């Protein structure tokens, strides 16, 4: 059985704060994601980039956590971009219309180019 673990690291690149996400995004990811957002906020970025390359599972609560993060970023007038989504989760981002509110990039270098 896949272990439901989640962790995140935050780094800075120019005007971007990049949050690298690892593991399963479900209810257990709540605290880690909130702390990662706070840490990213310290960089006062123009854009927060979420790296999903190492995320293997997102459930409906995980979607709710992404919505929460997006809402907080919008309050600060920060853009949110994502990269590293699998085709399946890209489909879910489109279905939920999250893709209408955040830029979706193929990978980190294309995200940092814009």
Residues engaged in binding another protein (CB under 8 A): 1-2, 4, 24, 26-28, 57, 59-61, 63-65, 67-68, 70-71, 74, 87-88, 91-92, 95-98, 100-101
- Residue that the structure tokens 């309050």 belong to: 75
Residue number, 54 or 95, with CB nearest to another protein: 95
- Quote the least distance from Cβ 113 to another protein, whole Å: 27
Nearest alpha carbon to residue 49 among 15, 76, 26: 15
Residue number, 13 or 59, with CB nearest to another protein: 59
- Quote the least distance from Cβ 96 to another protein, whole Å: 7
- Quote the least distance from Cβ 12 to another protein, whole Å: 25
CB atoms under 10 Å from CB of 17, counted, come to 25
Nearest alpha carbon to residue 29 among 19, 42, 18, 44: 19
Give the Cα separation of 71 and 68 in Å (integer): 5
């Amino acid at each position: 059985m896949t272990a439901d673990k989640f962790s995140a690291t935050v780094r800075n690149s120019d005007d971007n704060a990049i949050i690298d996400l690892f593991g399963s995004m479900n209810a257990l990811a709540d605290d880690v994601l909130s702390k990662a957002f706070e840490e990213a906020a310290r960089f006062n970025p123009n854009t927060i980039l979420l790296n999903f390359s190492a995320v293997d599972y997102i459930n409906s609560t995980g979607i709710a956590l992404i919505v929460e993060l997006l809402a907080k970023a919008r309050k600060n007038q920060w853009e949110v971009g994502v990269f590293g989504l699998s085709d399946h989760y890209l489909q879910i981002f489109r279905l939920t219309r999250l893709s209408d509110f955040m830029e979706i990039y193929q990978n980190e270098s294309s995200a940092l180019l814009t």
